[in-house]
């Protein structure tokens, strides 16, 4: 609270135009939140996100030089994008889309293709997890042209997100084509200025591997490929966690492990299901965001197949998943 009070005072003290110190302070704070968000429980970063958006919007209501206005719109867009993810993580897709639309308006005002592309990828992601597959495909298509033009990791994100979206719609050919394009884009990757914020703004290699597994989950006959990709993603996340890397993200790590459990359920390997899902079910309530719970519930659905009827082991896993989903992170953040 004291730090935010100091930032507000600095912005006033520098005069009617935004000074370099104020912009530097805001940039540093936005980058810190971007790095912290995937690693920390949501209730630890949500208040700071709301404060950052408030400060950025208040500054935009004043007068700045054109270059400073563009920088403020960029930072406002990044914060609004992170708040879109926060609403998504709290299980409110409609509020998430409102924040994302604000982020896109900011990206337009900043004339920043890297942010435009990240917003489209996030919109597609949120629609995908809300069960709006055709809407997810629409947002993926809106970002497709930018994916080849933008240098940063957002292009890999957009193509990978498109792959799992089209795979979920049954278009395996399109999904495989998008995965191939994402791999090519990844091989020639050059960071942009938003990648340098790390965390949410950078589509890390481990996240790419997770999306590869997720896409193949939907492709008939690709169970072995999906299992291999999920194991690669889990190994990459384990390595990132051990190194204290900003690439580690508990939500996507849990998603990769849930995908591994889902593949093993499809292959009839119940012991493997329980083993893969154990770290997910051990997550504390403040890390049980909507996407993580949705991933676990897909495993629950797979265990309802006729082959598992009467299996005590399958029933125990289902009961654990049900108990797990009764205390989501949203319940702990309702006071924010």
Q: What confidence tens digit (pLDDT) does each residue in 86-131 have?
A: 999 999 999 999 999 999 999 999 999 999 999 999 999 999 999 9
- Length of the chain, in residues: 336
- The pLDDT, as a whole number, for residue 91 is 94
d(CA 158, CA 179) in angstroms, rounded, equals 10
CA 160: distance to chain centroid?
12
Which residues neighbour 47 within 8 Å (Cβ) at sequence distance 6 or greater?
336
Terminal-to-terminal C-alpha distance of the chain: 15
Which residues neighbour 203 within 8 Å (Cβ) at sequence distance 6 or greater?
153, 154, 156, 157, 160
Ramachandran assignment for 320, one of left (phi > 0), alpha (psi -120 to 50 degrees), beta (any other): alpha
Closest by CA to 82, choosing from 60, 112, 61, 102, is 102
Q: Which two three-digit tokens encode residue 288?
A: 């049980």
What's the predicted TM-score (pTM) here?
0.92
Cβ neighbours around 98 below 10 Å, total: 15
Question: Sorting pLDDT into bands at 50, 70 and 90, what band is 334?
Answer: very low
Average pLDDT score over residue span 300-328: 95
- The pLDDT, as a whole number, for residue 335 is 40
């Amino acid at each position: 609270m004291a730090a935010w009070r100091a930032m507000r005072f600095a912005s006033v003290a520098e005069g009617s135009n935004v000074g370099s110190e104020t912009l530097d302070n805001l940039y540093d704070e936005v980058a810190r939140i971007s790095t912290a968000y995937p690693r920390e429980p949501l209730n630890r970063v949500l208040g700071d996100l709301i404060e950052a958006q408030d400060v950025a919007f208040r500054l935009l209501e004043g007068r700045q030089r054109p270059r400073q206005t563009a920088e403020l719109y960029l930072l406002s867009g990044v914060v609004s994008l992170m708040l879109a993810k926060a609403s998504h993580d709290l299980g409110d897709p409609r509020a998430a889309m409102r924040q994302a639309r604000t982020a896109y308006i900011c990206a337009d005002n900043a004339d920043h293709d890297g942010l435009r592309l990240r917003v489209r990828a996030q919109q597609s992601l949120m629609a995908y997890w809300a069960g709006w597959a055709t809407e997810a495909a629409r947002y993926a298509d809106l970002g497709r042209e930018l994916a080849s033009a933008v240098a940063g990791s957002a292009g890999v994100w957009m193509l990978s997100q498109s792959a799992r979206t089209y795979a979920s719609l049954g278009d395996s050919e399109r999904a495989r084509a998008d995965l191939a394009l994402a791999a090519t884009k990844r091989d020639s990757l050059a960071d942009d200025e938003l990648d340098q914020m790390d965390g949410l703004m950078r589509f890390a290699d481990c996240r790419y591997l997770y999306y590869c597994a997720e896409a193949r989950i939907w492709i008939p006959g690709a169970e072995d490929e999906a299992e291999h990709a999920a194991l690669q993603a889990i190994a990459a996340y384990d390595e990132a966690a051990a190194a204290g890397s900003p690439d580690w993200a508990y939500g996507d790590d849990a998603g990769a492990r849930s995908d591994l459990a889902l593949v093993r359920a499809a292959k009839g390997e119940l012991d493997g299901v329980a083993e893969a899902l154990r770290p997910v079910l051990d997550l504390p309530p403040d890390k049980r965001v909507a996407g993580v719970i949705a991933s676990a519930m897909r495993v629950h659905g797979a265990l309802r197949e006729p082959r598992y009827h009467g299996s005590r082991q399958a029933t125990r896993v289902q009961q654990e998943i049900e108990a797990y989903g009764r205390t989501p992170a949203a319940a702990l953040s309702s006071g924010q």
